[in-house]
Structure 1
Amino acid sequence: MRKPKKSLNRISDKTTLLLKFNYVSSFLSLAIGLICTYAFDMHGTIPYVFFFYSASNLLNVLAFNKHKNLMAMAIYTSIISFLGTVVITLYSGGINSPFIFVLGLVVLAGYISTRWFGTIYLYLIISTIVSIYLIDYADFDFIENEVPENVRDLFSLISVLFSVYLLGGVFGKNLLSTHHRLYRSKARIEKSIDEKENLLREVHHRVKNNLQTVSSLLSLQARNTPNEQIKALVRSSQNRVTSMAMIHEMLYVRDNLSKIEFGSYVNELTQYLLRTVERNDQKIKVNLNIPETLLSIDTAIPLGLLINETVTNSIKYGFKDRNEGEIKIELEKRDQDRYVLKISDDGLGYALDHDYKNYNTLGLRLVHNLARQLQGNMERIPSKKGTKYKLVFQDITDQFNP
């Protein structure tokens, strides 16, 4: 299985930084060791530690070229850097040694391998610095300052320059380069996202236009037939198409291209149905109780079709012989991604012993199929007046992408 490009880039950045740290620190350690030996006339532990660090770190790089194990190289570099810095610090003044600041730099080498190792390494170095202070405070005589008094200022200067160059020339420069690369990558990603969003917005716009074209064709077909029953069937199909077109329209005119604000959608849909299905002498109110809820398009489309069927049935049959009435639509969120939709009216209703699932009408059978598509359960709730349905469903996208 191929590693993602982002992961490969991160590994490449770590490798480049660690190799550069090893090469630079090895070269500088060799140079400081030679200065200590020939310029400062030091022949004790300090110059030998510099030479040992330089040689072992270069061997570490050569070994990495064969085994290609970045973590192994990072851990080895961290250990020898830590041990070498502690020894030089102890033999050059302890807590007052200028070389102690190098311990702050080698913490970064620990974080190059893994975060958990870097964290352990951080607390180890903090504990070591405290221990060095306690050794000085206890005034142990077994460790003496090997730096001659006449060159201690120069040794301090070299130590500070060594620390500053590693911090700025290695870590700082590499981090700045990485930051610029990430900034450019972020700009490219944002541009790509904008292009895809515009493309997706255009797709929704075209789908809406195509659905509206289908709706117009159905409307023409309905007007050209004298059969009232066929007209009613065609207009029902037209309303179903329009309910889907509304969703795509809401998607391309709003910022969120994947989620529908369900309350706004139901309000627009029910107002459209009242204008197209309601008789001129009727005054039917729609009472909505829907909190602010975002649903995926895969959930909103079957829900919109289901509401279209139930509200249309209520207007056409529930208030068939009445001039006024009320339809209620309520949405309640049960838990993280579970919802309950209730649709009711105060119309004529029908007998409780009639199973709507087995009705021959396309609308009621469609309601049952849409409920199953939502992987929900549609049931009729007994009521003294009118008809009431309850649908328990789950947002389809949330279910498959937790």
Structure 2
Amino acid sequence: MQDDKGMEERLRDKAKLVLKVNYFTSICSLVFCLLCLFALNITKIIPYVFLAFGVLNLLNTFLYKYHKSLTLAYNIVSIMALVGATIITLYSGGINSPFIFVLALVVVAGYMSTRSYGALYLYLILSIVLLIYAQSITDFSFTSNVVPEGSKDLFALLSVLFSVYLLGGVFGKNLLHVHHKLYKTKSEVEEKIKEKETLLKEVHHRVKNNLQTVSSLLSLQSRNIDDKQTKDLLKNSQNRVISMAMVHEMLYMREDLSKIEYKSYVEELAEYLVRSIKGTSSNITLDIDIPDIKLNIDTAIPLGLLINEAVTNALKYGIVDDSEGEIFIKLRRGDDGEYQLNIGDNGIGFPETMNHKTTKSLGLKLIHNLARQLRGSIIRDVTKKGTYYIVKFREIHQKVPSLA
């Protein structure tokens, strides 16, 4: 919506500029016509070209109010200006005519419309100037200078004044206004983006704090419970909350608020789980192989929870007591944009007959449910020792609502 509004404003500014130039050039052409006839004593060709351009351009400007096609109105006036300026140049001295500079204004107007039109009129006018020059240096000439000798200096002065004022007083002034307006709009947009980024950081910070509060409440609750099974359930829930809090903490700490560096996240999460379940001194080795991959929050959280469940199960049921063990976590992104997560341990594993449908283990059910949430697939590689999963998924892209 904001882009549409900005486009409409730019179109209105461009329309105002074209209409202003049209009115100015039409009035100047009609004044030039009268000066040629009554002050400069030019009675052939030139005053009638000025008259025709002035009248036809006023008609072109009037018709724009009905068809509303700025491109059509611009091209009509450009073609008329091109033809009229060429004729006046040919009949007022050819390559030596001061009116030849008006042709350059058509190029400026073209670039103010679009780059393609500017380039088109640039090469067209360069060709016309070369033809005028060729016509001036050859014996063959189908035009003659109709400006009387006594009026040449005044005609040159009026032509230069017309060109300079149109270039500076109309084009230059309005271009500066548009540039200032665009700069102001850009500054306002950048300021709004900065405000939203600050607000978003604050949101991530508060979410992280709230999740840590939930984790602390679960920890306090578990201290008043003697039943080991219930204590374990609360501890598992606490670790799940922490895994989500880590994502928000990383987004808050980094400049990029849309994605997190996943290697550092997985390393911090895995090390935390090892300390939480096995203690500060353990025989667990972490083999984490993740390149420079960044994931958005919609993918990072469910994938983090999946890794949390797999590592937790490995630490609690795969690598029992104080046994030595290794946990493998490998993440790769394929050329087709699909990610593959290989995660497992070299512990005792569990029977092939057990799966997420038949077991009562919440962790195993969550692993498969989270794989579905990632819109991916998960298989267990039973050829390897312990428990080993292969998860394939693609990054989730949520549609962001309009901020209009």
For 2:194 and 2:226, the matched residues in 1 are separated by 50
What secondary structure is seen at the aligned counterpart in 1 of 2:385?
coil
1:227 Cα deviation after fit: 0.1
For 2:270 and 2:378, the matched residues in 1 are separated by 20
Q: Which residue of 2 aligns with 1:92?
A: 92
Could you tell me whether the CA contact under 8 Å between 2:262 and 2:294 is conserved in 1?
A: yes
Q: Deviations over 1:126-146 (max 9, x none)?
A: 332232233334332221122
Q: Which residue of 2 aligns with 1:169?
A: 169
Q: Which residue of 1 aligns with 2:184?
A: 184
- Does residue 122 (structure 1) correspond to residue 122 (structure 2)? The answer is yes
For 1:340 and 1:178, the matched residues in 2 are separated by 50
Could you tell me whether the CA contact under 8 Å between 2:283 and 2:322 is conserved in 1?
A: no
Could you tell me whether the CA contact under 8 Å between 1:337 and 1:398 is conserved in 2?
A: no
Provide TM-score, normalisation by structure 1: 0.93
2:72 counterpart letter in structure 1:
A
RMSD between aligned alpha carbons? 2.3
For 1:307 and 1:2, the matched residues in 2 are separated by 40
1:94 Cα deviation after fit: 2.0
Q: Which residue of 2 aligns with 1:325?
A: 325
What secondary structure is seen at the aligned counterpart in 1 of 2:141?
coil
Written as runs of structure 1 = structure 2, the 5 A alignment for 1:27-38 is 27-38=27-38
Residues 192 and 281 (structure 1), Cα distance of their counterparts in 2 relative to 1, 3 Å cut = closer
Q: Deviations over 1:49-73 (max 9, x none)?
A: 1121112112222222344332222
Could you tell me whether the CA contact under 8 Å between 1:337 and 1:399 is conserved in 2?
A: no
For 2:2 and 2:313, the matched residues in 1 are separated by 55
Written as runs of structure 1 = structure 2, the 5 A alignment for 1:65-144 is 65-111=65-111, 114-144=114-144
Q: Which is worse superposed, 80-89 or 117-126?
A: 117-126
Could you tell me whether the CA contact under 8 Å between 2:135 and 2:141 is conserved in 1?
A: no
1:400 Cα deviation after fit: 9.4
What secondary structure is seen at the aligned counterpart in 2 of 1:348?
coil
Could you tell me whether the CA contact under 8 Å between 2:239 and 2:273 is conserved in 1?
A: yes
1:263 Cα deviation after fit: 1.1
- Does residue 200 (structure 1) correspond to residue 179 (structure 2)? The answer is no
What secondary structure is seen at the aligned counterpart in 1 of 2:178?
helix
- Does residue 338 (structure 1) correspond to residue 333 (structure 2)? The answer is no
Q: Which is worse superposed, 140-149 or 7-16?
A: 140-149
Could you tell me whether the CA contact under 8 Å between 1:70 and 1:113 is conserved in 2?
A: no
- Does residue 286 (structure 1) correspond to residue 297 (structure 2)? The answer is no
1:378 counterpart letter in structure 2:
I
Residues 371 and 63 (structure 1), Cα distance of their counterparts in 2 relative to 1, 3 Å cut = same
Q: Which is worse superposed, 225-234 or 187-196?
A: 187-196
Written as runs of structure 1 = structure 2, the 5 A alignment for 1:1-400 is 4-111=4-111, 114-279=114-279, 282-335=282-335, 337-356=337-356, 358-397=358-397
Question: 5+ unaligned residues in a row in structure 1: which ranges?
Answer: none
1:249 counterpart letter in structure 2:
E
1:297 Cα deviation after fit: 0.3
Q: Deviations over 1:295-325 (max 9, x none)?
A: 1100000010000000111111111055322
Question: 5+ unaligned residues in a row in structure 2: which ranges?
Answer: none
Q: Which is worse superposed, 5-14 or 29-38?
A: 29-38
For 1:114 and 1:195, the matched residues in 2 are separated by 34
1:31 Cα deviation after fit: 2.4
| Equivalent pairs, count | 401
What secondary structure is seen at the aligned counterpart in 2 of 1:236?
helix
Q: Deviations over 1:90-140 (max 9, x none)?
A: 112222322222111112333555554444333322332232233334332
For 1:148 and 1:352, the matched residues in 2 are separated by 107
Residues 319 and 301 (structure 1), Cα distance of their counterparts in 2 relative to 1, 3 Å cut = same
Residues 139 and 338 (structure 1), Cα distance of their counterparts in 2 relative to 1, 3 Å cut = farther
For 2:138 and 2:358, the matched residues in 1 are separated by 92
What secondary structure is seen at the aligned counterpart in 1 of 2:245?
helix
For 2:95 and 2:368, the matched residues in 1 are separated by 79
1:365 Cα deviation after fit: 0.8
2:22 counterpart letter in structure 1:
N
For 2:128 and 2:267, the matched residues in 1 are separated by 68
For 1:54 and 1:370, the matched residues in 2 are separated by 73
1:239 Cα deviation after fit: 0.4
Q: Deviations over 1:212-234 (max 9, x none)?
A: 11111111111111100000011
What secondary structure is seen at the aligned counterpart in 2 of 1:397?
coil
What secondary structure is seen at the aligned counterpart in 2 of 1:145?
coil
1:193 Cα deviation after fit: 1.5
1:74 counterpart letter in structure 2:
Y
1:2 Cα deviation after fit: 11
For 1:172 and 1:283, the matched residues in 2 are separated by 75
